Amino acid sequence: MIKVLIVDDHAIVRRGLKQILADIPDMEVFGEAASGDEALRFIRDQGWNIMLLDIAMPGKNVMELIKLAKHQSPHLPILILSMYPEDQYAIRMLRAGADGYLTKESAPEQLVEAIRKVAKGGKYISPAMTEKLIAELNPNQEIPLHNTLTDREFQVFCGICAGKSITDLAQQMTLSIKTISTYRTRLMKKMNMSKNAEIIHYAFKNDLLK
């Protein structure tokens, strides 16, 4: 039996996932968490075969949450289930330590396949994403500007897109205001931008916001 932990702040999403998995004989939802902190408490208290994790959780940034979860339970498979486009976020999540990435628009059959593969120790991305990665191996392929950012710079980028101030981000990421400002300066330079409005416009244009 694959013991599933669902981590999503929307009750209706958790209910829908439970309904999908209720008909699968080798899977059962043994726990639900509505925040990253709650998920970490679940991980400490229970043994899970897989965690389904939403990318946009209240509190901790998802990349930080992945790293903390892997620190607490190194062998816990994590499957990201998100409304954000796979081609924009999947690789960054995998680099952070996730084992698979699936959009919430995917068919239930894909979800079941992904859970089984990741729970057995494999990695999962969609066939379409696999083809895109192969295409990007071409040295002449242009790399999107946001993919040149480090994880910390990308966290600041996402925070700015969400309308958070430097002070808000410093509190959320438990870093100094000066450090956050440095990350902002670096990402602005890498992306050839000078204003927050340019970052937000870029995010909308590249389908990075929902």
Of 85, 102, 135, which residue is a domain's last? 135
pLDDT tier for residue 136 given thresholds of 50, 70 and 90: low
- The reply to whether 68 and 109 lie within a common domain is yes
Q: What is the pLDDT of residue 115?
A: 95
Q: What is the pLDDT of residue 22?
A: 92
Please state the rounded mean pLDDT for residues 129-157.
Answer: 75
Q: What is the pLDDT of residue 52?
A: 95
Q: Answer for the pair 38, 64: CB distance below 8 angstroms, yes or no.
A: no
Q: What is the pLDDT of residue 145?
A: 86
**Which pLDDT tens digit goes with each residue over 6-21?**
999 999 999 999 999 9
Could you tell me the maximum CA-CA distance found in the chain, to the nearest angstrom? Answer: 54
- The reply to whether 44 and 71 lie within a common domain is yes
- The reply to whether 6 and 69 lie within a common domain is yes
Q: Which residues pair with 32 in a beta bridge?
A: 6
> CA-CA-CA-CA torsion for 103, 169, 163, 200, nearest 10 degrees?
-70
Averaged confidence pLDDT in the chain: 87
Q: What is the pLDDT of residue 140?
A: 57
Q: How far apart are CA 88 and CA 126, in angstroms?
A: 13
Q: Which residues pair with 81 in a beta bridge?
A: 102
Q: Is 0.85 surpassed by the pTM of this model? A: no
pLDDT at 50 over 90: yes
- The reply to whether 101 and 73 lie within a common domain is yes
- The reply to whether 124 and 186 lie within a common domain is no
In a domain, 20, yes or no: yes
Instruction: Return the percentage of the chain with pLDDT > 70, whole number.
Output: 93
Q: Answer for the pair 63, 91: CB distance below 8 angstroms, yes or no.
A: no
- The reply to whether 103 and 152 lie within a common domain is no
Of 89, 110, 135, which residue is a domain's last? 135
- The reply to whether 70 and 89 lie within a common domain is yes
Q: Answer for the pair 48, 31: CB distance below 8 angstroms, yes or no.
A: yes
In a domain, 140, yes or no: no
> CA-CA-CA-CA torsion for 45, 50, 54, 57, nearest 10 degrees?
20
Instruction: Return the percentage of the chain with pLDDT > 90, whole number.
Output: 46
What is the domain extent for residue 98?
A: 2-135
pLDDT at 85 over 80: no
**Which pLDDT tens digit goes with each residue over 171-191?**
888 889 999 999 999 999 999
Please state the rounded mean pLDDT for residues 62-76.
Answer: 89
Q: What is the pLDDT of residue 34?
A: 92
For residues 4 and 147, the model is more confident at 4
Please state the rounded mean pLDDT for residues 141-156.
Answer: 83
What's the number of CA atoms in the CB half-sphere (13 Å) around residue 119? 20
Please count the structural domains in the chain: 2
Please state the rounded mean pLDDT for residues 138-164.
Answer: 82
pLDDT at 139 over 60: no
